[in-house]
């Protein structure tokens, strides 16, 4: 039975992605653009970052690790580093929330035979944004903490909470309730969820690696394109999870 369900969900995911390809790509690029613009708006000014990058370069050629670098730089430079990191984290979080809310709204409307544009999907998803912001922040925080420990807890938490955004939006449930139900369903159907979530984590890691190697084009363009690619990968996972949730028995 799990193999039959997995094949059905996989076919449905590809069918939806192929038929809504233009809208999904537009949503992925738009949310990537929002993330990049927000990051640059919230980041310290360019002169401060150049000075900090010079310090980082010095650390690279003198074999000083990041922890030692933080201890060696001034308090002002530590604040710049913290501000840049916080700006990047917040920008990615906001972009992810808009992507999830917009895509889930789009899927729900199309499933009910309603045509919808990307901008209309985002505008209709605005009431979902505060709840999803809290939910995705908590999930991201817990998964990242788990990955920092010994990786396995982070992977397990990613699987456990993978259905939470769909449950929160479709069933209009609270953050904690959605995470609780998602955990129960995920470990009951781990064979259906684990491969998709593991593929998503691996694909995101590859995109992060590409970001560090992309030196042949403008940094801004590279950020938008690679963030857009990352969003496309997340969109595929969301479509798979949404369809899977609709097929799983509801307790």
CB under 8 Å to 50, separation ≥6 — which residues? none
Q: Nearest 5 degrees, angle CA 173-CA 104-CA 7?
A: 105
Question: At which residue do the structure tokens 């908590």 appear?
Answer: 138
Distance CA 138, CA 177 (A): 13
Residue 29 inside a domain? The answer is yes
Tell me the whole-structure pTM to 2 decimals.
0.85
Q: What is the CA radius of gyration of the chain?
A: 20
| Rounded CA separation 170/172 (Å) | 6
Domain, as residue range, for 186: 2-38+94-247
Greatest alpha-carbon span in the chain: 61
Q: Are 161 and 142 in contact (CB under 8 A)?
A: yes
Residues 240, 245: Cα–Cα separation, whole Å? 9
Q: In whole angstroms, what is the distance from residue 128 CA to residue 144 CA?
A: 24
87 within a domain of the structure (yes/no): no
CA distance 186 to 160: 5
From first to last of its 251 residues, the chain has per-residue pLDDT tens of 566 677 888 898 999 999 999 999 999 999 999 999 998 888 766 555 445 454 444 344 334 444 555 555 566 666 777 777 788 889 999 999 999 999 999 999 998 888 888 999 999 999 999 999 999 999 999 998 888 877 788 899 999 999 999 999 988 889 999 999 999 999 899 999 999 999 999 998 888 887 767 666 677 788 888 899 999 999 999 999 999 999 887 65
Is residue 229 included in any domain, yes or no? yes
Looking up tokens 């045509």 gives 115
**Is 187 within a domain?**
yes
* Number of structural domains the chain divides into: 1
Question: Does the residue 162 lie in any domain?
Answer: yes
Residue 18 neighbours by CB under 8 Å, 6+ apart: none
85, part of any domain: no
**14/53 Cα distance (integer angstroms):** 42
What separation in angstroms does the CA of 128 have from each of 16, 238, 250? 22, 16, 22
Assigned domain for 56 exists:
no
In a domain, 233, yes or no: yes
């Amino acid at each position: 039975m799990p193999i039959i369900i997995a094949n059905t969900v996989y076919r449905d995911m590809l069918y939806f992605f192929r038929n809504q390809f233009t809208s999904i790509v537009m949503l992925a690029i738009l949310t990537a653009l929002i993330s990049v613009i927000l990051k640059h708006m919230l980041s310290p000014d360019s002169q401060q970052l150049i000075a900090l990058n010079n310090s980082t370069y010095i650390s690279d050629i003198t074999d000083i690790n990041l922890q030692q670098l933080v201890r060696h730089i001034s308090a002002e430079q530590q604040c710049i580093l913290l501000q840049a990191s916080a700006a990047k984290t917040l920008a990615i979080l906001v972009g992810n929330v808009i992507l999830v809310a917009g895509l889930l709204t789009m899927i729900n409307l199309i499933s009910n035979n309603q045509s919808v544009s990307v901008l209309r999907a985002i505008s209709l998803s605005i009431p979902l944004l505060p709840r999803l912001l809290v939910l995705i922040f908590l999930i991201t925080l817990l998964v990242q903490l788990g990955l920092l420990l010994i990786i396995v807890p982070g992977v397990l938490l990613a699987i456990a909470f993978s259905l939470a955004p769909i449950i929160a939006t479709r069933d209009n449930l609270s953050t904690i309730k959605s995470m609780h139900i998602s955990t129960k369903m995920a470990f009951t159907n781990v064979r259906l969820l684990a491969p998709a979530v593991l593929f998503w984590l691996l694909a995101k890691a590859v995109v992060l690696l590409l970001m560090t190697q992309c030196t042949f084009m403008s940094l801004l363009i590279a950020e938008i394109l690679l963030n857009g690619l990352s969003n496309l990968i997340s969109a595929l996972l969301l479509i798979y999870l949404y369809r899977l949730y609709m097929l799983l028995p509801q307790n």
